[in-house]
Amino acid sequence: MNSTITKIETGSLADELELAAGDKILQVNGRAPLDIIDLSFQLAEEDIELLIEHADGEREIIAFEKDVDEELGAEFESAVFDGVRRCKNHCVFCFVDMIAPNMRRTLSIKDDDYRLSFLFGNFITLTNLTAKDFRRIKNFHLSPLFVSVHTMNPALRAEMLRTPRAAQIQAQLDELERAGVEYHTQVVLCKDLNDGAELDFTITEILKRRPHALSLAIVPVGVTKYRRDKFPLKQFDKESAAKVIGQVERFQQKIRAESGRTFVYLGDEFYFLAERDFPPVECYDDFPQIENGIGMTRNFIEEFRDEGLGTRDEFFVDVVCGTSIAKVFKRLTADLPNVRILPVVNKFFGERVNVSGLLTGGDIIDALKSAGGSRDVILIPATALKAGEGIFLDDVTLDDLRKLFAPAQIVPIHDGAEFRRALAGLIK
């Protein structure tokens, strides 16, 4: 069990109990918590007895009383103490199988853990769930979950995920619904495989599952130069992406007319590929799958415009980004002559990987060196950095960039409002 505490909130219950980073919670009232979900339910009681193992290996029992709704105030090394549930599928489009060799071990972990789906919005296939897992989902009412459907055709799904259990998707969704669980869904769309008539069927079947089904995201398959799988995958081009947009728009128009919501959304990459404008903001409803790349660009544009700030003329700014969004940034900054957009070709994963979030530090360094010239500020996509840490996918650090390009200020940008404020010199 890895229930190691990494941070204690000042003034919290954990702080009062003198818990510290490095301590492990082994038991709560005689029961070992499996994850932070377990821990949360166990700590809901008023009388608590903790078995703690300190960093030096010494164990201590701490007994105390607390309010029912009082939280512990501690952060943990992992949200799951008994280990991440690994995916046993061998999907023909699995991106983890396409990463470069010898990268960080954590990048090679294929999780299919319903707990991470509930806690963080990770997508799961349902094929690796046990009867015990379904019972726990029901008992703790872990809702909503995020489900990778890919296709509702049982035989095709089994072929794509390379497991017979994938054919049970209808029964698995039925099981979630009987438990009262709501869920978001996604399709990784592969040209000439689960598109066309198959996509029509999938959308139609998921629509029937409303209100338990909350949304459907359709994202194009991505392929890196490190893919070794022999299964023939085809990627979308301008013409085929435009065809998908037209196909899905027909559903969107009908659904919005009936319910006032769009429900089925396309990944931003389809609009980049087809060189089409993004739908208006209202078509994304409340952006239910923005972390999945659904409406991220439209939201960025709206945040940038809403900020409504001017800009300073006395410094020069380089904006680092993936090649797909470069045109959008150029339009947003067209009236700012001191701003230069630097689209970075992804040499690490392959030039067809064009999103900002998969840029590596090495490729960014090469692009900045090649561009040369004067710069006072360098804006980089925060999505390219490991969450909460200043490190890129290739283990180059933010500090490495800052040393190389000093005295230029390097600022990671999370959204459109930050982008606008940075251009106005308000982020230091």
pLDDT digits (tens, 9 = 90+) for 35-78: 999 999 999 888 999 999 999 999 999 998 888 888 899 999 99
Q: What are the residue boundaries of the structural domains of the chain, listed by start?
A: 5-76, 96-294, 301-423
Residues 6+ apart with CB under 8 A from 187: 149, 150, 151, 194, 199, 202, 216, 217, 218, 219
- Contact (Cβ atoms closer than 8 angstroms) between residue 232 and residue 92: no
DSSP state of 62: E
One DSSP character per residue, 335-388 reads T-TTEEEEEEP-TTT-TT---GGG--HHHHHHHHHHH-S--SEEEEEGGGBPTT
Residue 20 phi, psi (nearest 5): -145, 160
Q: Average pLDDT of the chain? A: 91
Q: Categorize the per-residue pLDDT at 389 as very low, low, confident or very high, splitting at 50, 70 and 90.
A: confident
pLDDT number for residue 336: 84
pLDDT number for residue 182: 98
**Looking at the domain 5-76, which fold is it?**
Pdz3 Domain (2.30.42)
- Say if residue 390's pLDDT is above 80: yes
Mean pLDDT (whole number) for 133-157: 96
Helices (H) and strands (E) in the chain, counts: 14, 13
pLDDT number for residue 375: 87
pLDDT number for residue 372: 85
DSSP state of 21: T
pLDDT number for residue 229: 86
- Say if residue 427's pLDDT is above 80: no
Mean pLDDT (whole number) for 373-394: 88
Six-digit token pair at 165? 């259990």
Q: Give pLDDT tens digits for 212-268.
A: 999 999 999 988 888 888 899 999 999 999 999 999 999 999 999 999 999 999 999
pLDDT number for residue 316: 87
Bridge partners for 321 per DSSP: 343
Place of tokens 């890196």: 224
Provide the 10 A C-beta neighbour count for residue 406: 9
Q: CA torsion angle for 290, 292, 293, 294 (degrees, to 10)?
A: -50
Please give the model's pTM, rounded to 2 decimal places. 0.89
**Looking at the domain 301-423, which fold is it?**
Rossmann fold (3.40.50)
pLDDT number for residue 307: 64
Closest among 170, 186, 182, 185 to 211, alpha carbons compared: 182
- Contact (Cβ atoms closer than 8 angstroms) between residue 267 and residue 294: yes
Q: Give pLDDT tens digits for 298-328.
A: 999 999 886 666 666 678 899 999 999 999 9
Task: Report the run of H or E that residue 147 belongs to, with start and end.
Answer: strand 145-148
One DSSP character per residue, 178-236 reads HTT--EEEEEEE-TTTTSTHHHHHHHHHHHTTTTTEEEEEEEE----TT----S-----
Q: Give pLDDT tens digits for 176-218.
A: 999 999 999 999 999 999 999 999 999 999 999 999 999 999 9
**Looking at the domain 96-294, which fold is it?**
pyruvate-formate lyase- activating enzyme (3.80.30)
pLDDT number for residue 107: 63
pLDDT number for residue 8: 93
Tell me the C-alpha distance between 88 and 161, whole Å. 10
371-374: Cβ within 8 A, 24+ apart: 371/318, 371/340, 371/342, 373/316, 373/340, 374/316
Residues 6+ apart with CB under 8 A from 83: 2
DSSP helix/strand/coil, 51: strand
Angle between helices 169-178 and 131-139 (to 10 degrees): 30
pLDDT number for residue 136: 94
Six-digit token pair at 317? 């700014």
Biggest CA–CA distance in the chain, Å, is: 66
Q: Give pLDDT tens digits for 93-104.
A: 888 887 877 766
Q: Categorize the per-residue pLDDT at 282 as very low, low, confident or very high, splitting at 50, 70 and 90.
A: very high
Six-digit token pair at 15? 């702080």
